[in-house]
Amino acid sequence: GQQLNQSPQSMFIQEGEDVSMNCTSSSIFNTWLWYKQDPGEGPVLLIALYKAGELTSNGRLTAQFGITRKDSFLNISASIPSDVGIYFCAGQPKRLQGAQKLVFGQGTRLTINP
């Protein structure tokens, strides 16, 4: 079953607004990843985080690996219509280190009103 709690489940925003979503777990993670999935496509990696406290940007996207290693957040600044989609967090649990295994959150569905 799922071990990551991702919130919010859905967001309805105006174009140009900033977006923030997060992922939490009761377990420690070694790696945090953020993906975007468009309808009818597979997830595409946006940002990968490997160290506690790490803050990484990719254009208008910024993600952070929480200090406790149990959470991560993703921010999108100045949203545009092509940001619409489902965003997933994923992580490699510490207890599965070496197992090359990812656990995914339930996703945040982003809808943008023009």
Partner 1 sequence: EAGVVQSPRYKIIEKKQPVAFWCNPISGHNTLYWYRQNLGQGPELLIRYENEEAVDDSQLPKDRFSAERLKGVDSTLKIQPAELGDSAVYLCASSLGGSVAEQYFGPGTRLTVT
Q: Tell me the CA distances in angstroms from 56 to 19, 33, 90, 102, one per residue in order.
A: 16, 11, 16, 20
Q: Using the rule CB under 8 A, which residue among 22, 92, 110, 112 binds partner 1? A: 92
Q: Using the rule CB under 8 A, which residue among 41, 59, 81, 82 binds partner 1? A: 41
Residues 1-30 that bind partner 1 (CB under 8 A): 2, 4, 6
The minimum distance between CB 40 and partner 1, in angstroms, equals 7
16 Cβ contact list (under 8 Å, min separation 6): 78, 79, 80
Which of 19, 90 has the CB closer to partner 1? 90
